[in-house]
Structure 1
Amino acid sequence: MQHLQSSAWLHVADYQLHLRQLTPDKAGSAYPVLMLHGAIENSRIFYNEKGRGLGCFLADRGFVVTCADFAGRGLSSPKASRRFNHSQQQLICQDIPALITHLYQQHQQPVVVMAHSWAGVVLAASLARFPELLPKVKAIVTFGTKRVISVGGFKKRLHIDLVWNRLSPLLCLLYGYLPAKQWRFGADNEPAQYVLDTIDWICGGAFIDPTDGFDYAAACAAICWPRSWHFAATGDKLLGNPIDVQAFLVETGLNSGVYSLLGKEPGHQQDYDHISMLTDARALTDHFARLEQWLKLL
């Protein structure tokens, strides 16, 4: 590895967000990179201690990278439990603004924000709701981000209609949080309220806040977005189907940015899926290297 890994914690309200900091041996970029994970996972989707992952790739090439764990996930404190709940609105209104502002103040430069899956949805919502954050954001990069899952089929009926929409609320009621890791359908657990808040959006409900009715769709229409690049994968049939990814980009106006489909037909080494687009070793030469060059031209 050509970078140093360390941990820090950012105090927000009555909890702490864990920040995994990847500091290059030789810094070569003016803009810090913030990485945000999706649902039932944590920031390790972007790094590990052996130097693998997009975060490590960029840190080895001179970028100062921070991989954040949202409240209740990863090494953030406290963990999701019956005693510690956390809503989607809190993530939109507290966590994301705090993270962007913290890095902006620390580096005195606008931040490149990268988001996997559902993190791209809450990122767009946060920036639309708080447009004063936009001068602090240099660029946006998303991987497999969709708001609505419109595709059908057996996997959708099993994983979304049954497990997420029906079983998960029952587990939240029973445990006080979603034990996705124990039940082996996720890499990390989720706060109960966050899970409940996502269901209507996933099922095609309007892009409005379930807590206070804030209209994110209308707010997005008024935004002049930073430069952006959005990745979808041909093997991602459900959680980030390219059809749903493109629908999200149109809905938010983020289709003003670059869109790339990862797969053999577009000329890549494999048909990536929702996870392998960030974890497969072949991603380094297929799209990580292209992303590095794009970032250096910002």
Structure 2
Amino acid sequence: MSDLAAPLVERHSVPLAVGAVHLTRFRPDGPSRGSVLCWHGAIESGRIFHSRSGKGLAPWLTRQGYEVFVADQRGRGEAPPRPARGIRLDQTDVIVDEIPAAIEACLALSGASRLHLVAHSWGGVLFASSLARFPTLRDHIGRQAYFGTKRSVKSWTLQRLLYVDLIWKGVAPLARGVCGYLPARALRWGSDDEYAGSHRQGADWVRPHPWVDRRDGFDYAAALADGGLPPVLHIAGAADRALGHPDDVARFASECGPHPQRHVTLGRDQGLKRDYGHLDMLTHPAAMQEVFPSLVEWFEEA
């Protein structure tokens, strides 16, 4: 398939008891090689996978023949409800309601029996958490790729002290208390705002606390201790010194219990032209040649 073929784009809403998940569907112009669901991380939306100009991982994968669904979880993009004081949704709702509903919708729309999953940053934590809670979901997942996904942060760098300790765990709770939600866009910390409950839970997990649900005590690490997570390609950026440090990415992989896995660090030491960071592993123009093809190889492995 030509890399210049324009993908067909549809938009779907997956209604929930409160609000809805939005799916942007990229359809190839020929037979599909498989279906992929992409999930974004904290204080961002599905735009991390596709730009308004038609660039990004999702259109690229579609040009390789894959059908791609990009999720905007509630409160991101145009998916309602918008973060505001009094909205009580949190990341447990994403794990328990949004991800299972999105997977079901993607399977129904595509007619596929299985999906590949791709996540950026905190999205991988949410995916793994949902698969830990609902083992039957795993039967519908082929392979996964987590870009810069870590849960707790133990690496000691100056960037970690600034972005994680000072901003995420220090200033952000103050802003959340004043506004009733985390106004990440106004503060220029991210592309989308965050529900108060989601930030509270996420900030708790970033600390080296057990991987246990703040709301109901579900132990995610224990649920995965005996294995069962579908295969994961764990991807870290060599220049990512805080938000997805390679050591923290590797530690999260271990926390997910025994599962088929491969680890990739994107940098010059691995023969690439640059050291990639937390965002540009998906957004840099060179990623199309240096990073994205590894996903197709991973998806196509027997």
Q: TM-score category by the smaller chain?
A: over 0.9
Paired letter, 1:46: F
Residues 85 and 177, structure 1, Cα contact 8 Å, conserved in 2:
no
Paired letter, 2:74: A
Percent of aligned positions that are identical:
36
Q: Which residue matches 2:55?
A: 52
Aligned in 2, Cα 1:157/1:227: closer, same or farther, shift over 3 Å? closer
The correspondence for 2:226, drawn from 202, 222, 227, is 222
Q: Which residue matches 1:18?
A: 22
Q: Distance in 1 between matches of 2:246 and 2:179?
A: 34
Q: Which moved more, 1:247-256 or 1:144-153?
A: 247-256
Q: CA deviation at 1:256?
A: 2.9
Q: Which residue matches 2:263?
A: 259
Q: CA deviation at 1:280?
A: 0.8
Q: Which residue matches 2:167?
A: 163
Does residue 1:180 correspond to 2:184, yes or no?
Answer: yes
Q: Distance in 2 between matches of 1:224 and 1:205?
A: 23
Residues 129 and 219, structure 1, Cα contact 8 Å, conserved in 2:
yes
Q: CA deviation at 1:154?
A: 2.8
Q: Which residue matches 2:133?
A: 129
CA offsets 1:201-252 (integer angstroms, 9 cap, x no match): 1011111111111111100113322222111110011100000000000111
Residues 221 and 257, structure 2, Cα contact 8 Å, conserved in 1:
no
Q: Which residue matches 1:236?
A: 240
Large movers: runs of 4+ above 4 Å: none
Superposition RMSD in Å: 1.4
Q: Which residue matches 1:63?
A: 66
Paired letter, 1:38: G
The correspondence for 2:212, drawn from 208, 211, 222, is 208
The correspondence for 1:95, drawn from 89, 94, 98, is 98
Paired letter, 2:72: D
Aligned in 2, Cα 1:38/1:254: closer, same or farther, shift over 3 Å? farther
Paired letter, 1:218: A
Does residue 1:149 correspond to 2:153, yes or no?
Answer: yes
Q: Distance in 1 between matches of 2:62 and 2:35?
A: 10
Residues 100 and 137, structure 2, Cα contact 8 Å, conserved in 1:
yes
TM-score of the superposed pair, with normalisation by structure 2: 0.94
- Secondary structure of 1:9 counterpart: strand
Query: Which sections of structure 2, spanning at least 5 residues, go unmatched?
Result: none
Paired letter, 1:35: C
CA offsets 1:54-84 (integer angstroms, 9 cap, x no match): 1110011111101001111112012111143
